[in-house]
Amino acid sequence: MSLNLGPGKLFRTASAWLCIGMTEAAFAQAGAAPGSASIFSPASTPADSIYHLSLFVLAICGAIFLAVFSLLVYSVVKFRRRAGDDGREPPQIYGSNQMELAWTVIPVLIVVVLFLASARVIHAVEDARFPAGTTEVTVVGHQFWWEFQYPQQGFIAANELHVPVSDPQHPTPTHLTLLSADTDHSFWVPRLAGKTDLIPNRTNNMWIDPHETGVYVGQCAQYCGTQHAKMLLRVIVQSRADFERWVVEQRQPAQPPGDSVAKGRQVFETTACVNCHTVAGTNANGKFGPDLTHLMSRETIAAGAALNNRENLRQWVQDPDSFKPGALMPAMQLDEHDLDAVTDYLVTLK
Protein backbone atom coordinates (compact mmCIF):
# COMPACT_ATOMS: atom_id res chain seq x y z
CA MET A 1 0.00 0.00 0.00
CA SER A 2 1.41 3.37 -0.96
CA LEU A 3 0.77 6.26 1.35
CA ASN A 4 -1.19 8.14 -1.25
CA LEU A 5 -3.34 10.23 1.01
CA GLY A 6 -3.77 13.02 -1.51
CA PRO A 7 -7.11 12.12 -3.08
CA GLY A 8 -8.55 11.08 0.29
CA LYS A 9 -7.65 14.38 1.82
CA LEU A 10 -9.05 16.17 -1.17
CA PHE A 11 -12.31 14.29 -0.79
CA ARG A 12 -12.54 15.17 2.85
CA THR A 13 -11.81 18.83 2.26
CA ALA A 14 -14.28 18.97 -0.59
CA SER A 15 -16.97 17.25 1.44
CA ALA A 16 -16.32 19.50 4.40
CA TRP A 17 -16.90 22.47 2.08
CA LEU A 18 -20.03 20.85 0.73
CA CYS A 19 -21.40 20.39 4.25
CA ILE A 20 -20.47 23.92 5.22
CA GLY A 21 -22.23 25.11 2.09
CA MET A 22 -25.38 23.26 3.09
CA THR A 23 -25.09 24.66 6.60
CA GLU A 24 -24.63 28.15 5.22
CA ALA A 25 -27.79 27.72 3.18
CA ALA A 26 -29.64 26.82 6.35
CA PHE A 27 -28.06 29.81 8.09
CA ALA A 28 -28.99 32.17 5.30
CA GLN A 29 -32.54 30.99 5.68
CA ALA A 30 -32.21 31.45 9.42
CA GLY A 31 -31.01 35.02 8.96
CA ALA A 32 -33.91 35.87 6.69
CA ALA A 33 -36.53 34.62 9.10
CA PRO A 34 -36.75 36.24 12.53
CA GLY A 35 -38.67 33.26 13.94
CA SER A 36 -36.07 30.76 12.79
CA ALA A 37 -35.13 27.76 14.83
CA SER A 38 -32.29 26.24 12.83
CA ILE A 39 -30.37 23.50 14.59
CA PHE A 40 -27.29 25.01 12.93
CA SER A 41 -27.46 28.25 14.92
CA PRO A 42 -27.08 26.95 18.48
CA ALA A 43 -27.27 29.34 21.43
CA SER A 44 -26.85 26.96 24.37
CA THR A 45 -24.32 24.29 25.35
CA PRO A 46 -26.37 21.14 24.57
CA ALA A 47 -27.36 22.50 21.15
CA ASP A 48 -23.81 23.67 20.58
CA SER A 49 -22.19 20.31 21.32
CA ILE A 50 -24.74 18.61 19.05
CA TYR A 51 -23.94 21.19 16.37
CA HIS A 52 -20.22 20.45 16.48
CA LEU A 53 -20.81 16.70 16.48
CA SER A 54 -23.19 17.09 13.55
CA LEU A 55 -20.57 18.92 11.49
CA PHE A 56 -18.14 16.05 12.09
CA VAL A 57 -20.77 13.46 11.14
CA LEU A 58 -21.79 15.46 8.07
CA ALA A 59 -18.16 15.68 6.95
CA ILE A 60 -17.68 11.91 7.25
CA CYS A 61 -20.98 11.13 5.54
CA GLY A 62 -20.21 13.69 2.84
CA ALA A 63 -16.85 12.01 2.20
CA ILE A 64 -18.44 8.55 1.98
CA PHE A 65 -21.10 9.91 -0.33
CA LEU A 66 -18.58 11.48 -2.68
CA ALA A 67 -16.46 8.32 -2.78
CA VAL A 68 -19.31 5.90 -3.48
CA PHE A 69 -21.17 8.30 -5.76
CA SER A 70 -18.02 8.75 -7.86
CA LEU A 71 -17.67 4.97 -8.16
CA LEU A 72 -21.29 4.70 -9.25
CA VAL A 73 -21.02 7.47 -11.83
CA TYR A 74 -17.75 6.03 -13.11
CA SER A 75 -19.30 2.56 -13.51
CA VAL A 76 -22.38 3.90 -15.25
CA VAL A 77 -20.33 5.95 -17.71
CA LYS A 78 -17.41 3.62 -18.24
CA PHE A 79 -19.12 0.24 -18.37
CA ARG A 80 -22.22 1.01 -20.39
CA ARG A 81 -22.64 -1.21 -23.41
CA ARG A 82 -21.40 0.72 -26.44
CA ALA A 83 -23.04 0.92 -29.84
CA GLY A 84 -21.46 -1.71 -32.05
CA ASP A 85 -20.88 -4.08 -29.15
CA ASP A 86 -19.74 -7.53 -30.28
CA GLY A 87 -22.53 -9.17 -28.28
CA ARG A 88 -20.14 -11.31 -26.27
CA GLU A 89 -20.57 -11.60 -22.54
CA PRO A 90 -18.00 -9.68 -20.45
CA PRO A 91 -15.51 -11.68 -18.33
CA GLN A 92 -17.37 -13.25 -15.42
CA ILE A 93 -15.82 -12.27 -12.09
CA TYR A 94 -17.30 -13.94 -9.05
CA GLY A 95 -15.75 -11.89 -6.28
CA SER A 96 -12.58 -10.89 -4.54
CA ASN A 97 -11.76 -11.57 -0.91
CA GLN A 98 -9.30 -8.68 -0.75
CA MET A 99 -11.94 -6.24 -1.91
CA GLU A 100 -14.51 -7.64 0.50
CA LEU A 101 -12.04 -7.35 3.35
CA ALA A 102 -11.27 -3.74 2.42
CA TRP A 103 -14.87 -2.63 2.27
CA THR A 104 -15.62 -4.40 5.52
CA VAL A 105 -12.68 -3.16 7.60
CA ILE A 106 -12.80 0.48 6.52
CA PRO A 107 -16.51 0.93 7.37
CA VAL A 108 -15.93 -0.81 10.71
CA LEU A 109 -13.22 1.72 11.54
CA ILE A 110 -15.46 4.62 10.52
CA VAL A 111 -18.27 3.24 12.68
CA VAL A 112 -15.96 2.95 15.70
CA VAL A 113 -14.90 6.58 15.31
CA LEU A 114 -18.49 7.76 14.93
CA PHE A 115 -19.59 5.74 17.93
CA LEU A 116 -16.88 7.20 20.17
CA ALA A 117 -17.67 10.73 19.04
CA SER A 118 -21.38 10.15 19.77
CA ALA A 119 -20.76 8.51 23.14
CA ARG A 120 -18.74 11.53 24.24
CA VAL A 121 -21.56 13.97 23.53
CA ILE A 122 -24.21 11.63 24.97
CA HIS A 123 -22.24 11.53 28.22
CA ALA A 124 -21.58 15.28 28.26
CA VAL A 125 -25.26 16.16 27.76
CA GLU A 126 -27.05 13.42 29.68
CA ASP A 127 -24.72 13.02 32.64
CA ALA A 128 -23.98 16.74 33.19
CA ARG A 129 -23.63 17.97 36.76
CA PHE A 130 -25.31 21.19 37.74
CA PRO A 131 -23.68 24.07 39.67
CA ALA A 132 -25.33 25.70 42.65
CA GLY A 133 -27.68 28.42 41.45
CA THR A 134 -29.22 26.28 38.75
CA THR A 135 -32.76 27.39 38.03
CA GLU A 136 -35.26 24.56 38.42
CA VAL A 137 -38.39 24.44 36.28
CA THR A 138 -40.91 21.62 36.13
CA VAL A 139 -42.49 21.44 32.69
CA VAL A 140 -45.86 19.72 32.47
CA GLY A 141 -47.20 18.95 29.01
CA HIS A 142 -50.95 19.27 28.51
CA GLN A 143 -53.18 18.84 25.46
CA PHE A 144 -52.26 21.40 23.97
CA TRP A 145 -50.28 23.81 26.11
CA TRP A 146 -47.27 23.99 28.44
CA GLU A 147 -47.30 24.47 32.20
CA PHE A 148 -44.11 25.82 33.79
CA GLN A 149 -43.79 25.37 37.55
CA TYR A 150 -41.01 27.25 39.35
CA PRO A 151 -40.73 25.21 42.59
CA GLN A 152 -37.86 27.31 44.02
CA GLN A 153 -39.84 30.52 43.62
CA GLY A 154 -43.29 29.05 44.17
CA PHE A 155 -45.39 30.11 41.18
CA ILE A 156 -46.72 28.67 37.94
CA ALA A 157 -46.52 30.15 34.44
CA ALA A 158 -47.67 28.88 31.06
CA ASN A 159 -46.50 28.58 27.45
CA GLU A 160 -43.71 31.13 27.68
CA LEU A 161 -40.73 29.84 29.60
CA HIS A 162 -38.64 32.59 31.18
CA VAL A 163 -35.07 31.64 32.05
CA PRO A 164 -31.97 33.66 33.00
CA VAL A 165 -29.14 34.02 30.50
CA SER A 166 -26.05 31.97 31.32
CA ASP A 167 -22.52 33.27 31.06
CA PRO A 168 -20.35 30.53 29.49
CA GLN A 169 -17.56 31.42 31.98
CA HIS A 170 -19.84 31.06 35.02
CA PRO A 171 -22.72 28.95 33.76
CA THR A 172 -26.10 29.30 35.42
CA PRO A 173 -28.09 26.64 33.57
CA THR A 174 -31.76 25.90 33.83
CA HIS A 175 -32.73 22.32 34.63
CA LEU A 176 -36.08 21.13 33.30
CA THR A 177 -38.01 18.28 34.89
CA LEU A 178 -40.40 16.99 32.24
CA LEU A 179 -43.80 15.54 33.12
CA SER A 180 -47.03 15.03 31.26
CA ALA A 181 -50.60 15.42 32.42
CA ASP A 182 -52.13 13.38 29.59
CA THR A 183 -50.42 12.06 26.43
CA ASP A 184 -46.86 12.08 25.13
CA HIS A 185 -45.35 15.44 24.20
CA SER A 186 -41.85 16.55 23.35
CA PHE A 187 -40.02 19.72 24.37
CA TRP A 188 -38.08 21.04 21.38
CA VAL A 189 -36.46 24.43 21.11
CA PRO A 190 -33.85 23.66 18.44
CA ARG A 191 -31.46 26.53 19.18
CA LEU A 192 -31.25 25.60 22.86
CA ALA A 193 -31.16 21.78 23.01
CA GLY A 194 -32.28 18.59 21.37
CA LYS A 195 -35.78 17.40 22.16
CA THR A 196 -36.81 15.31 25.13
CA ASP A 197 -40.22 13.70 25.45
CA LEU A 198 -42.72 14.39 28.20
CA ILE A 199 -44.30 11.06 29.01
CA PRO A 200 -47.14 10.48 31.48
CA ASN A 201 -46.22 8.43 34.52
CA ARG A 202 -42.52 9.07 33.93
CA THR A 203 -40.02 11.80 34.86
CA ASN A 204 -37.57 13.02 32.23
CA ASN A 205 -34.86 15.63 32.44
CA MET A 206 -33.07 18.09 30.22
CA TRP A 207 -31.14 21.31 30.61
CA ILE A 208 -30.35 24.50 28.78
CA ASP A 209 -27.92 27.37 29.39
CA PRO A 210 -28.72 30.04 26.80
CA HIS A 211 -25.78 32.32 26.08
CA GLU A 212 -27.73 35.26 24.68
CA THR A 213 -30.92 37.01 25.72
CA GLY A 214 -33.86 36.93 23.35
CA VAL A 215 -36.85 34.85 22.33
CA TYR A 216 -36.29 31.27 21.15
CA VAL A 217 -39.14 29.49 19.42
CA GLY A 218 -39.96 25.83 19.35
CA GLN A 219 -42.93 23.54 19.66
CA CYS A 220 -44.22 20.15 20.71
CA ALA A 221 -42.43 17.52 18.65
CA GLN A 222 -44.34 14.37 19.59
CA TYR A 223 -47.84 13.93 18.17
CA CYS A 224 -50.18 14.51 21.09
CA GLY A 225 -53.64 14.83 19.57
CA THR A 226 -55.79 17.11 17.44
CA GLN A 227 -53.98 20.37 18.09
CA HIS A 228 -50.42 19.08 18.24
CA ALA A 229 -49.56 21.64 15.55
CA LYS A 230 -50.46 24.62 17.69
CA MET A 231 -48.69 23.58 20.86
CA LEU A 232 -46.01 26.20 20.37
CA LEU A 233 -43.24 27.07 22.74
CA ARG A 234 -41.45 30.33 23.45
CA VAL A 235 -38.41 30.50 25.64
CA ILE A 236 -37.68 34.04 26.79
CA VAL A 237 -34.09 34.38 27.89
CA GLN A 238 -33.56 37.42 30.11
CA SER A 239 -30.67 39.06 31.85
CA ARG A 240 -30.38 38.00 35.48
CA ALA A 241 -31.86 41.33 36.65
CA ASP A 242 -34.82 41.17 34.24
CA PHE A 243 -35.45 37.57 35.19
CA GLU A 244 -35.46 38.38 38.89
CA ARG A 245 -37.88 41.25 38.24
CA TRP A 246 -40.14 38.94 36.28
CA VAL A 247 -40.03 36.38 39.13
CA VAL A 248 -41.04 39.04 41.67
CA GLU A 249 -43.99 40.03 39.48
CA GLN A 250 -45.10 36.46 38.93
CA ARG A 251 -45.06 35.71 42.67
CA GLN A 252 -47.60 38.44 43.37
CA PRO A 253 -51.23 37.42 43.63
CA ALA A 254 -53.57 39.12 41.19
CA GLN A 255 -53.99 42.85 41.89
CA PRO A 256 -57.48 43.48 43.25
CA PRO A 257 -59.24 44.90 40.19
CA GLY A 258 -61.02 48.22 40.26
CA ASP A 259 -64.79 48.56 40.35
CA SER A 260 -64.88 49.05 36.60
CA VAL A 261 -64.27 45.33 36.04
CA ALA A 262 -66.15 43.98 39.07
CA LYS A 263 -68.82 42.71 36.72
CA GLY A 264 -66.28 40.85 34.60
CA ARG A 265 -64.69 39.29 37.64
CA GLN A 266 -68.08 38.19 38.84
CA VAL A 267 -68.82 36.57 35.46
CA PHE A 268 -65.42 34.84 35.51
CA GLU A 269 -65.86 33.51 39.04
CA THR A 270 -69.43 32.32 38.58
CA THR A 271 -69.04 30.48 35.29
CA ALA A 272 -67.11 27.37 34.35
CA CYS A 273 -63.89 29.42 33.92
CA VAL A 274 -62.85 28.65 37.48
CA ASN A 275 -63.09 24.90 36.94
CA CYS A 276 -59.98 25.00 34.78
CA HIS A 277 -58.13 28.25 35.49
CA THR A 278 -56.37 29.69 38.49
CA VAL A 279 -56.15 33.36 39.38
CA ALA A 280 -54.07 33.54 42.55
CA GLY A 281 -55.77 35.47 45.34
CA THR A 282 -59.27 34.65 44.12
CA ASN A 283 -61.49 31.60 44.39
CA ALA A 284 -60.47 30.55 40.86
CA ASN A 285 -58.09 27.64 41.33
CA GLY A 286 -58.73 25.15 38.51
CA LYS A 287 -55.74 23.18 37.27
CA PHE A 288 -56.72 21.90 33.81
CA GLY A 289 -55.97 25.13 31.96
CA PRO A 290 -53.17 27.70 32.14
CA ASP A 291 -52.77 29.83 35.26
CA LEU A 292 -54.21 33.27 34.41
CA THR A 293 -52.89 35.23 37.40
CA HIS A 294 -50.47 37.18 35.17
CA LEU A 295 -52.12 36.52 31.85
CA MET A 296 -51.22 39.88 30.37
CA SER A 297 -47.51 39.37 31.05
CA ARG A 298 -47.51 36.90 28.13
CA GLU A 299 -47.05 37.85 24.51
CA THR A 300 -49.31 35.11 23.16
CA ILE A 301 -52.37 33.10 24.12
CA ALA A 302 -53.52 29.57 23.26
CA ALA A 303 -49.94 28.20 23.40
CA GLY A 304 -48.71 30.64 20.79
CA ALA A 305 -51.69 30.32 18.45
CA ALA A 306 -52.57 34.02 18.68
CA LEU A 307 -51.11 37.31 19.91
CA ASN A 308 -52.27 38.32 23.37
CA ASN A 309 -54.46 41.38 22.93
CA ARG A 310 -57.98 42.36 23.90
CA GLU A 311 -59.53 41.50 20.57
CA ASN A 312 -57.99 38.03 20.41
CA LEU A 313 -58.80 37.30 24.06
CA ARG A 314 -62.43 38.14 23.45
CA GLN A 315 -62.57 35.93 20.40
CA TRP A 316 -60.78 33.12 22.21
CA VAL A 317 -63.33 33.14 25.05
CA GLN A 318 -66.17 33.31 22.57
CA ASP A 319 -64.95 30.66 20.13
CA PRO A 320 -61.61 28.93 20.77
CA ASP A 321 -62.03 26.87 17.60
CA SER A 322 -61.58 29.98 15.50
CA PHE A 323 -57.90 29.98 16.51
CA LYS A 324 -57.38 26.37 17.41
CA PRO A 325 -60.04 23.89 16.28
CA GLY A 326 -59.98 20.94 18.66
CA ALA A 327 -58.55 22.87 21.61
CA LEU A 328 -59.95 21.56 24.90
CA MET A 329 -61.20 24.98 26.02
CA PRO A 330 -64.95 25.08 25.36
CA ALA A 331 -66.73 28.03 23.78
CA MET A 332 -68.12 29.84 26.83
CA GLN A 333 -71.55 30.73 25.38
CA LEU A 334 -71.58 34.17 27.04
CA ASP A 335 -73.80 36.94 25.76
CA GLU A 336 -72.11 40.01 24.23
CA HIS A 337 -72.35 41.99 27.43
CA ASP A 338 -70.78 39.32 29.65
CA LEU A 339 -68.17 38.61 27.02
CA ASP A 340 -67.03 42.24 27.02
CA ALA A 341 -67.07 42.31 30.80
CA VAL A 342 -65.00 39.18 31.22
CA THR A 343 -62.53 40.39 28.59
CA ASP A 344 -62.21 43.69 30.47
CA TYR A 345 -61.43 41.69 33.58
CA LEU A 346 -58.88 39.45 31.87
CA VAL A 347 -56.86 42.37 30.51
CA THR A 348 -56.38 43.63 34.09
CA LEU A 349 -54.52 40.43 35.04
CA LYS A 350 -51.08 41.92 34.53
Site residues for other proteins, 145-174, by CB under 8 A, read: none
We find the least distance from the C-beta atom of residue 66 to other proteins, in angstroms, to be 11
Pick one of 34, 84, 256, 258: the residue that binds other proteins (CB under 8 A). Answer: 34
Among 13, 152, 205, 309, binds other proteins (CB under 8 A): 205
Do the beta carbons of residue 157 and residue 234 sit within 8 Å?
no
Q: Give the footprint of other proteins on residues 215-274 (CB under 8 A).
A: 217-230, 232
User: Counting contacts by CB under 8 A, is residue 328 touching other proteins?
Assistant: no
Q: Is position 40 an interface residue for other proteins (rule: CB under 8 A)?
A: yes
By CB under 8 A, tell whether 197 contacts other proteins. yes
Selected from 10, 72, 215, 307, the binder of other proteins by CB under 8 A is 72
Q: Which is nearer to other proteins, 133 or 200 (CB)?
A: 200
Q: How far is CA 7 from CA 11, 12, 22, 56, 107, in A?
A: 6, 9, 22, 19, 18
**Cβ closer to other proteins: 218 or 264?**
218
CA 311, CA 340: separation in Å to the nearest integer? 10
Provide the minimum distance between the beta carbon of 181 and other proteins in the complex, in angstroms, as a whole number: 10
DSSP 348: T
Exposure of 85 by Cβ count < 10 A (0-12 exposed, 13-18 middle, 19+ buried)?
exposed
CB atoms within 10 A of CB 232: 19
Show contacts with other proteins in window 275-314 (CB under 8 A): none
Residue with Cβ nearer other proteins (262 or 307): 307
Nearer to other proteins, 225 or 257 (CB): 225
Looking only at Cα atoms, what is the longest distance across the chain? 101
For residue 90, state whether it binds other proteins (rule: CB under 8 A). Answer: yes
C-alpha–C-alpha distance, residues 261 and 342, integer Å: 8
Closest CA relative to residue 128, chosen from 160, 174, 163: 174
**Piece of 189-197, 248-256, 274-282, 285-293 that binds other proteins (CB under 8 A):** 189-197
Candidate list 9, 10, 21, 71; residue touching other proteins; CB under 8 A:
71
Q: Which of 4, 84, 127, 256 binds other proteins (CB under 8 A)?
A: 127
**Distance (Å, whole) CA 173 – CA 130:** 7
Q: What's the half-sphere exposure (Cβ side, CA atoms, 13 Å) at 335?
A: 1
- Rounded-to-integer distance, Cα 130 and Cα 69, Å: 46
Which of 111/248 has CB closer to other proteins?
111
Closer of 189 and 267 to other proteins (Cβ): 189
